[in-house]
Chain A
């Protein structure tokens, strides 16, 4: 028998180890690719947290924006809030979706921590969340001036994330 064949099980073991190492280690399983990239923002008709006026999908158009899904029950949202305030200071248009939250708590939050949002859409039952494929907060969508979703980030926004995401955002028309 060919002696080289004796090393075959070891070679297979090494190959499987490498595949699993790459597959389990590097790939970020917690962020799923969104099928909505390149699609127009889903239709909605929702009240605004700040003043109660009703807005629809067309109100998103006109200028590229970040659409940030947040809630007062979400600790990571609190962690990213300061960074959103900083982005807002740089004249970046941020639209909030207050996801499955209590209106009074949301208003209190904005009063306490500052309001970086152009406005916040209130989505108390999470129906717009389902349309957007939201499965956890915070999530942030990048939309262009025609209201088409161009990118999605799952998890908090921070300077490290913004290095690449901000590049994408500045490229939007």
Chain B
């Protein structure tokens, strides 16, 4: 019960018209703007501590950039304009979503290509295996039948004898 109430409390807090990051409060008149701010802080990357976003990082430069994002939003800038502003100064690196360009094609399509290559490989292997089974000649088929017959005939004999018999057949 306490957990449910705590969850509801967190949910209620997150919809309030302000975003709190690293102890700093960013008040917004419109709850939607607070959500936009939180989403931007998630999507933008801290250039100093490279595996954290602006929301996670407590590096001074991340705080500066959060303030800048807040300031730009107060000026009525759209999400795209905020992102463009930072990309123009810090490069594509500040975005967690890389742009789709000629030099990033491999990044975007690489996983798909690898998946297709894997699929092709699996299909090829399967076909080979299927072909291998079909390749049993008439002679081999006849031998298989006779072996089956022998084994069912000797089913009541000592199992050790069975194996000896098979071994003899081989040689």
Chain A residues proximal to chain B, CB less than 8 Å = 1-2, 5, 8, 29, 32-36, 100, 126, 129-136
Contacts and interface: CB of A to CB of B under 8 A. Distances in A.
A1 B50 CA distance: 46
B132 A32 contact: no
A34 B48 contact: no
Contact of B91 (A8, A29, A130, A133): A133
B65 interface: yes
Interface in B124-150: 125, 128-129, 132
B68 interface: yes
B128 A130 contact: no
Contact of B61 (A2, A131, A135): A135
Given A135-B61, A136-B61, A29 B50 contact: yes
B132 A100 contact: no
Contacts of B128: 1-2
B90 A35 contact: yes
Contacts of A129: 64
A32 to B, nearest CB: 5
Interface residue SS majority, chain A: loop
B91 A135 contact: no
A66 to B, nearest CB: 20
Contacts of A1: 125, 128-129, 132
A136 B48 contact: yes
Nearest to A126: B64
A2 B125 CA distance: 9
B47 A35 contact: no
Contacts of B68: 130
B88 interface: yes
Report the 9 A-B pairs with minimum CB-CB distance, sorted nearest first. A135-B47, A133-B89, A133-B90, A35-B91, A135-B48, A135-B61, A32-B93, A1-B128, A126-B64
B87 interface: yes
6 contacts: A29-B50, A35-B91, A35-B92, A36-B89, A130-B89, A133-B90
Given A29-B50, A135-B47, A5 B89 contact: no
A118 B142 CA distance: 98
A34 B125 contact: no
A32 B89 contact: no
A132 B89 contact: yes
B64 A130 contact: yes
A8 B60 CA distance: 48
Contacts of A132: 89
A35 B125 contact: no
B14 to A, nearest CB: 28
Interface string B82-113: 00000111111100000000000000000000
B35 to A, nearest CB: 24
A157 to B, nearest CB: 20
Nearest to A132: B89
A132 B47 CA distance: 13
Interface string B35-47: 0000000000001
A115 B101 CA distance: 45
